[in-house]
């Protein structure tokens, strides 16, 4: 059994503008049913958000699946601000047993600044080519990566104060860039899937429009880097895309 994991955590978050991911979850549920996969929703934070962001908490997934008595062959960690095409090919058949991600085609200014900051303060001896940098919102793993995820958690708590300070001071993201460095530090065999499987920054690429051009050229749509109030903008595009595929029901 392959498992798709989506974080949809509301408890412990004091933000009145919590984003509604209802249609994202509906879309992923339909795809999972069609492809014989299980959908697992992370609904409760394990630690206070101030202590550990949700993006970091997903690396407890092996323990969470064990506690829920869910067996698995492969696991997809995917962000909730996504929608999947009903006919998306089964990416679990494309892993070759490796750690799988998609290069982050987005703001290279932000990516390169993030790489430079984290390299300076945490990974001085590790080189990270920006063209191999993956987005954290689509990661496929398997049982071989259990120890690596423990190493991620250990890294976080060993460096927690400095990580939080760096994130707050420079605005260079939470887990995404450190994960890219840690993949290299621990010599994890990484396979990259094409952009179609994690279509980030669609507005900048001029495919996020009312004609839903993005639905014609790819499979998984990541509604990030869109100007405006996230609690309004993201649900609008997710719902619009879902109804494009499935109608208003």
Q: Which pLDDT belongs to residue 16?
A: 54
Q: Which pLDDT belongs to residue 119?
A: 97
To the nearest 10°, report the CA torsion of 182, 177, 180, 163.
Answer: 10
- Give how far Cα 64 sits from Cα of 46, 49, 97, 115, 123, Å: 10, 17, 21, 30, 29
Is 166 in contact with 121 (CB distance < 8 Å)? yes
Instruction: Say whether pLDDT at 15 is over 70.
Output: no
Q: Which pLDDT belongs to residue 190?
A: 98
DSSP 100: E
3-state secondary structure of 116: helix
Name all domains of the chain by residue range, CATH numbers in brackets: 3-246 (3.90.550.10)
Segment 162-207, tens digit of pLDDT: 999 999 999 999 999 999 999 999 999 999 999 999 999 999 999 9
C-alpha 14/C-alpha 149 separation (Å) is 28
Q: At residue 103, what are phi and psi to the nearest 5 degrees?
A: -55, 140
Residue 18 or 104, more confident: 104
C-alpha 164/C-alpha 228 separation (Å) is 25
Q: Which pLDDT belongs to residue 239?
A: 97
pLDDT tier at 11, thresholds 50, 70, 90: low
3-state secondary structure of 220: strand
- CA 197: distance to chain centroid? 12
Segment 86-136, tens digit of pLDDT: 999 999 999 999 999 999 999 999 999 999 999 999 999 999 999 999 999
Is 103 in contact with 198 (CB distance < 8 Å)? no
Q: Which pLDDT belongs to residue 248?
A: 73
Instruction: Say whether pLDDT at 144 is over 80.
Output: yes
C-alpha 200/C-alpha 222 separation (Å) is 5
- The dihedral through the CA atoms of 193, 196, 199, 204 has a sign that is positive
Instruction: Say whether pLDDT at 213 is over 80.
Output: yes
How many CA within 13 A on the CB side of residue 202?
Answer: 28
pTM exceeds 0.75: yes
Token pair for residue 61? 């997934």
3-state secondary structure of 1: coil
Q: Which pLDDT belongs to residue 17?
A: 62
Token pair for residue 239? 């719902």
DSSP 194: P
Segment 43-87, tens digit of pLDDT: 999 999 999 999 999 999 999 999 999 999 999 999 999 999 999
Instruction: Say whether pLDDT at 12 is over 60.
Output: no
Q: Where are the beta strands (DSSP E) in the chain?
A: 3-7, 38-42, 74-78, 82-84, 99-102, 138-142, 190-193, 220-222
Q: Given phi > 0 = left and psi -120 to 50 = alpha, else beta, which region is 12?
A: left
């Amino acid at each position: 059994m392959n498992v798709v994991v989506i974080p949809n955590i509301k408890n412990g978050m004091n933000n009145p503008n919590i984003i509604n991911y209802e249609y994202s979850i509906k879309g992923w549920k339909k795809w999972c049913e069609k492809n014989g996969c299980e959908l697992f929703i992370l609904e409760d934070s394990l630690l206070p958000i101030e202590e550990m962001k949700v993006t970091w908490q997903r690396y407890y997934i092996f323990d969470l699946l064990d506690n829920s008595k869910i067996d698995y062959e492969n696991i997809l960690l995917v962000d909730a601000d996504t929608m999947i095409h009903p006919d998306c090919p089964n990416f679990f058949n494309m892993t070759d047993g490796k750690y799988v991600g998609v290069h982050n085609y987005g703001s290279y200014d932000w990516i390169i600044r993030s790489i430079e900051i984290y390299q300076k303060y945490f990974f001085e001896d590790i080189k990270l080519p920006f063209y191999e940098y993956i987005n954290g919102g689509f990661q496929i793993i398997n049982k071989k990566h259990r120890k690596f995820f423990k190493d991620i958690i250990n890294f976080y708590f060993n460096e927690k104060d400095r990580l939080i300070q760096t994130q707050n001071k420079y605005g260079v993201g939470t887990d995404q860039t450190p994960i890219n460095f840690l993949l290299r530090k621990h010599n994890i065999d990484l396979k990259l899937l094409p952009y179609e499987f994690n279509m980030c920054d669609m507005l900048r690429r001029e495919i996020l429009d009312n004609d839903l051009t993005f639905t014609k050229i790819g499979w998984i749509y990541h509604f990030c880097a869109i100007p405006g109030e996230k609690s309004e903008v993201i649900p609008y595009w997710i719902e619009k895309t879902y109804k494009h595929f499935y109608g208003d029901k």
